[in-house]
Amino acid sequence: MPIAIWNDNYKTGHAVVDRQHQELFQMVNQLHDSIVAGKGKDVLQPTLEKLARYTIQHFGTEEALMMQTHYPLLAVHRQKHQALAQKAKEIIEGYKSGKNVLTITLSQFLADWLSHHINEDDKALIDYLHRR
């Protein structure tokens, strides 16, 4: 059962960003389904790493747009990206070493973060791009 449900309210109006957001929703759901099903490390670790890599790629797309247009909130937006990337790195390293157990709390956190970030930060960015 999906934990992150895409709907048109998340559309920013930027085709590339929207497509990447939809992919992130799917990946969060894949991770969640794997956690709920009690999948082993051989499934969970690659799923989590794939999500982390794609998230970094997506952040790069957004940050390139911000730099190209001299977005005034670039530093703040980038800081939020870096904070999530650091948290993801810590979770992955902890999981690899056996210190962390992946629970639905993680997938709920990711779903909530994604929803909030799109509605607050990414929509503001795309609105700025459309006004220029």
Mind listing the pLDDT tens digit for each residue in 2-50?
Answer: 899 999 999 999 999 999 999 999 999 999 999 999 998 889 889 999 9
Q: What's the confidence (pLDDT) of residue 46?
A: 92
Q: What's the confidence (pLDDT) of residue 123?
A: 94
Name the architecture of domain 14-131. Up-down Bundle (1.20)
Give the DSSP letter string of 65-117: HHHHTT-TTHHHHHHHHHHHHHHHHHHHHHHHHTS----HHHHHHHHHHHHHH
Domain boundaries, the chain: 14-131
Please say whether the beta carbons of 17 and 38 come within 8 A: no
pLDDT above 90 (res 104): no
Predicted TM-score (pTM) of the model is 0.91
Instruction: Give CA–CA dist 88/90, Å, rounded.
Output: 5
Quick: pLDDT tens for 52-66: 999 999 999 999 999
Q: What is the mean pLDDT of residues 95-123?
A: 90
Give the DSSP letter string of 45-62: HHHHHHHHHHHHHHHHHH
Quick: pLDDT tens for 65-99: 999 999 999 999 999 999 999 988 888 888 889 88
Going by pLDDT thresholds of 50, 70 and 90, the confidence category of residue 120 is very high
Going by pLDDT thresholds of 50, 70 and 90, the confidence category of residue 127 is very high
